[in-house]
Amino acid sequence: MLKLDGETDSYRAIHGDADFMPGIVADKFADVLSVEITNLAAWQRLPKWLPLLHECFDTKRVIVSVDNDLARIEGIPRFGGVESDKVRSVKIREHGIRYEVDFSAGHKTGFFCDQRDNRKKFGALAEGRTVLDLCSYTGGFAISAALAGATEVTGVDLDETAIEMAKRNANLNNTRVKFTHADAFTWARTMIENGRTWDLVIADPPKFIHGREDETGIAKYADLNKLALQLVAPEGLYVTCSCSGQLGAGEFERIVISSAHRRDKRLQTFDRTGAGPDHPTLSNYPESRYLKVLWSRVI
């Protein structure tokens, strides 16, 4: 129905509870199926499911990951079950862009397929603009902007391994991006002191909120947006994201708006998006709408 194979060879195959299969998340990366198991029931059934999944998604190899804390809570054995194939990395395509997915160092299942459509949309805004990608991970937004004709692109991330992967991805696509290994908060404060601004800024941080009353996570979102907004040039564009399922869309927008108003700025919001359609949301499971993306012009 989604016809994703025409634009990519990588997408979410099973989206856990929202696909009525709690305990398993699976992403297709070319011929590799990357599976994340979070409960005992899914772990027990994976040997029977795997041949069917390979047949459905035209994959041949599998990577299986189980969080150690969840394994202890769920009673998942350390040995037995489906073992991962010996595959370190694979190259994928997305909207004509090439990426390398490193399973030995990647977050979650190895790559964030949920931002696929947002990366394309972001690139469409970048032509002729200077671009800043805060919390750039492996460079998806930055590379999309560079290929779309941005005049200058900077990516910043605290994860040194991710920065090295981002540089390799930029080389794969023959693009020039300045990637910097640094803490986004500290780096942003330095740039503000130096008076630096960019025409198009995106802040796509990791999950900050890990519980329903995580005040520290909420404060981090407020702080990051307060800093990032000061790096947007007058009448520039600002894109901000949250992947915390415990943070509702309305509350996230209130945090962003408050951060802007406290700096005497106004947001002219022109779009609100989320994860791609291969990440469906379930009507009685609001946390499945975990990714929120706010697109605004800063006045």
Q: List, in order of start, the domains of the chain with CATH numbers.
A: 4-87 (3.30.750.80), 112-298 (3.40.50.150)
In this prediction, residue 105 carries a pLDDT of: 76
pLDDT computed for residue 127 by the predictor: 98
Q: CB-based contacts of 244: which residues, under 8 Å, 6+ apart?
A: 207, 208, 209, 210, 217, 221, 252, 290
φ/ψ (deg, to 5) at 280: -65, 160
243 is catalytic: yes
Which residue of the set 113, 135, 241, 243 is catalytic?
243
Distance CA 192, CA 231 (A): 7
pLDDT at residue 107, as a whole number: 64
Question: What is the residue type of 254?
Answer: R
d(CA 294, CA 252): 9
- Tell me how far apart the alpha carbons of residues 177 and 180 are, in angstroms, rounded to a whole number: 10
pLDDT per position as a tens digit, 98-145: 999 999 876 666 799 999 999 999 999 999 999 999 999 999 999 999
The confidence score (pLDDT) of residue 286 equals 85
Q: Give the pLDDT score at 222.
A: 97
Q: What is the pLDDT of residue 185?
A: 98
Q: How far apart are CA 181 and CA 164, in angstroms?
A: 9
For residue range 16-50, list pLDDT tens digits in order: 999 999 999 999 999 999 999 999 999 999 999 99
Tell me, what's the pLDDT at 211? 76
Output b/e per residue, 110-129; b: 16+ Cβ within 10 A. bbbbbbbbbbbbbbebbeeb
* Angstrom distance (rounded) from CA 74 to CA 56: 28
Residue 17: name the closest of 281, 296, 224, 195 by CA. Answer: 281
| pTM for the full predicted model | 0.94
Site of tokens 């919390």? 135
* Beta carbons within 8 Å of 272's beta carbon, 6+ residues apart: 249, 253, 292, 293, 294, 295
Please tell me the number of Cα atoms within 13 Å of 245 on its side-chain side.
11
Q: Which residue has tokens 């099973």?
A: 14
Pick from 111, 97, 96: nearest CA to 33: 111
Nearest partner of 25 among 143, 130, 110, judged by Cα:
110
In this structure, the number of other CB atoms found within 10 A of the CB of residue 174 comes to: 9
Ranges of residues in the chain whose predicted pLDDT is under 50: none
> What spatial distance separates the first Cα and last Cα of the chain, rounded to whole Å?
40
